[in-house]
Amino acid sequence: MTKTEQPGLHHAVPAQGYAGDVSPQLAHQWVLSGEAVLVDVRTDAEREWVGFVPGAVPLAWKQWPGMAMNPLFDDGVRAAAQGKKVLLLCRSGVRSIAAAKRATELGVEAYNILEGFEGDPDAHAHRGRIGGWRFRNLPWQQN
């Protein structure tokens, strides 16, 4: 891989505790091909205010307020999988790692989407300008 190549752009990068990491672009390709389902593990408020991926399964990993674990996550991720790969998306690609590890423990083939929906913050602490699903011009909507 060259220094300028985005990790996980063309294939999953193996990870410890779950199937691997994939770029937003590869995740989108897998969803379009029907081989995977995208599960958005952000809170309801994040999806409502910041934006969401059409067709993604909304299933919070943790819930606001207090960021308590979602007691419905296990059943929800199993139901979403239906024999497909599961791609987990959060704000920046961090919470989705924990969710991917849990999904793997439940027997689901789970992948983390690198960069998340909003990407990392820039020098001014603004998200959406360095990586992420939105930054990569993949389908999304905002209410």
Domain limits of the chain? Answer: 18-113
Closest residue by Cα to residue 92 from 63, 69, 115: 115
CATH superfamily of 18-113: Rhodanese-like domain (3.40.250.10)
Q: Residue 47 pLDDT > 50, yes or no? A: yes
Spell out the SS3 assignment of the chain: CCCCCCCCCCCCEEECCEEEEECHHHHHHHHHHCCEEEEECCCHHHHHHHCECCCCEECCCEECCCCEECCCHHHHHHHHHCCCEEEEECCCCCHHHHHHHHHHHCCCCEEEECCCCCCECCCCCCCCCECCCCCCCCCCECC
More confident residue, 143 or 111: 111
Q: Residue 8 pLDDT > 80, yes or no? A: no
Task: Note the pLDDT of residue 67.
Answer: 84
Confidence band for 86, pLDDT divided at 50, 70 and 90: very high
Residue type, 33: S
Q: Residue 22 pLDDT > 90, yes or no? A: yes
Task: Note the pLDDT of residue 5.
Answer: 56
pTM: 0.91
User: What share of the chain has pLDDT > 70, as a percent?
Assistant: 94
Task: Note the pLDDT of residue 7.
Answer: 66
133 is written with which tokens?
A: 């699903």
Task: Note the pLDDT of residue 1.
Answer: 42
Q: How many CB atoms lie within 10 A of CB 78?
A: 14
CA dihedral 74, 77, 139, 97 (to 10 degrees): 60
